[in-house]
Amino acid sequence: MIENKNKYTTMIKTEAKRLGFSSCGISKATFLETEAPRLERWLNNQMHGEMSYMENYFDKRLDPRLLVEGAKSVVSLTLNYYPEERQVDDNYKISKYAYGEDYHYVIKDKLKELLAFINDEIGAVDGRVFVDSAPVLDKAWAAKSGLGWVGKNNNLINRKSGSFFFIAELIIDLELEEDGPTTDHCGTCTKCIEACPTGAIESAHIVNGSKCISYLTIELKDDIPEEFSGKLDNWMFGCDVCQDVCPWNRFSSPHKEARFIPNNELIQFSKREWKELTKETFNEIFKKSAIKRTKYEGLLRNMQFLGE
């Protein structure tokens, strides 16, 4: 039995690497006891703003066995999205994760391949794939699996690759060899807290989602509150500030995923061209992009709020 656990674990990690995942770690599927009170406090303090979906499925967020019957292992994976190319300077800014094709599609395709491999090479294994669109605390599981530690900005950070990567999970009813958590290496650094343009990182590990630029420019459907006027630092979709200032991201290296290569218009557009963007052009440029989430009207709202 132990030999099989080791063998299957090695097989899965090797295949994950072949599929292009940056790292793969495994945890026992169990209740997230430490995270439960933190999540409850965060919700009770209304730090999720209008993201009411965060209040749903509280128990499922904390126990993967409620998502997959008989679940024994949570396989956590990361996929690098750090771009080689950047937007032109003095521009409305877009978070780097949205430069290429919508990561949900890219990662789900890879996860389905991994699950198919498990069923073909190991046997009938029941499981589900998750890419941040389901009630799974992905950073908690990735940290438990040793893929990094949760930094003061609540992003998962890896000593060798920084934090510019996506996190995904495969929850399966197959018992595998567990990886232990790594240690925290933020030390006394508070660069992310000091750099946050809206003060959303209120203290270490306490991120007020309702103040976050990513929330204001993507999740918030109403008008952006005037209290944030002049504080969005030209971000019109998402925000990378707390990652850009993180010392560990000096180790970030460009991704090798063809589907994340940015649309040339996105990289080259000037402020003037963004302002002249039509709905037809928006639909054409961003038809496979995560930017569709904010919709054309949302992007216009964000640009208007930013002004010149």
Domain locations along the chain = 2-172
Query: Could you tell me the sign of the dihedral formed by the alpha carbons of 92, 218, 150, 200, in that order?
Result: positive
Structure tokens at 132: 């941040």
Q: What is the model's pTM?
A: 0.92
What number is the average pLDDT over the span 156-181? 96
- Tell me how far CA of residue 303 lies from CA of 54, 80, 173, 234, 273, in angstroms: 27, 28, 47, 8, 12
Nearest to 75 by CA among 161, 9, 166, 151: 9
Q: Which residues are annotated as a binding site for [4Fe-4S] cluster?
A: 186, 189, 192, 196, 212, 239, 242, 246
3-class state of residue 150 by DSSP: strand
In contact, 44 and 58? CB cutoff 8 Å:
no
What number is the average pLDDT over the span 127-135? 85
What number is the average pLDDT over the span 226-231? 96
Q: What are phi and psi of 290, to 5 degrees?
A: -65, -20
Per the listing, tokens 């993201």 go with: 51
- How many Å apart are CA 79 and CA 165, to the nearest integer? 5
pLDDT reading at 43 higher than 70: no
Active site residue 173: no
Please state which of the ranges 32-41, 213-222, 247-256 shows the lowest mean pLDDT.
32-41
Which band of pLDDT confidence, cut at 50, 70 and 90, is reported for residue 307?
confident
The neighbouring-strand residues paired with 80 are 165
Q: Which residues are annotated as a binding site?
A: 61, 132, 153, 156, 167, 186, 189, 192, 196, 212, 214, 221, 239-240, 242, 246
pLDDT reading at 211 higher than 90: yes
Residue in 109, 120, 126, 132 annotated catalytic: 132
For 73-100, write each residue's pLDDT tens digit.
999 999 999 999 999 888 999 999 999 9
Q: Which residues are annotated as a binding site for cob(II)alamin?
A: 61, 132, 153, 156, 167, 214, 239-240
pLDDT reading at 55 higher than 70: no
Determine the pLDDT at residue 51: 62
- How many Å apart are CA 164 and CA 244, to the nearest integer? 9
In contact, 154 and 184? CB cutoff 8 Å:
no
Determine the pLDDT at residue 128: 93
End-to-end CA gap in the chain: 64
- How many Å apart are CA 201 and CA 204, to the nearest integer? 7
In contact, 9 and 76? CB cutoff 8 Å:
no
In contact, 59 and 33? CB cutoff 8 Å:
no
Structure tokens at 225: 């509150």
Q: Which residues are annotated as a binding site for tRNA?
A: 221
Nearest to 16 by CA among 151, 113, 130: 113
- Tell me how far CA of residue 91 lies from CA of 48, 88, 95, 237, in angstroms: 29, 7, 12, 12
CATH topology of domain 2-172: NADH Oxidase (3.40.109)
For 115-125, write each residue's pLDDT tens digit.
999 999 999 99
Please provide the average confidence, as pLDDT, over all residues in the chain: 92
Strands 235-237 and 93-94: parallel
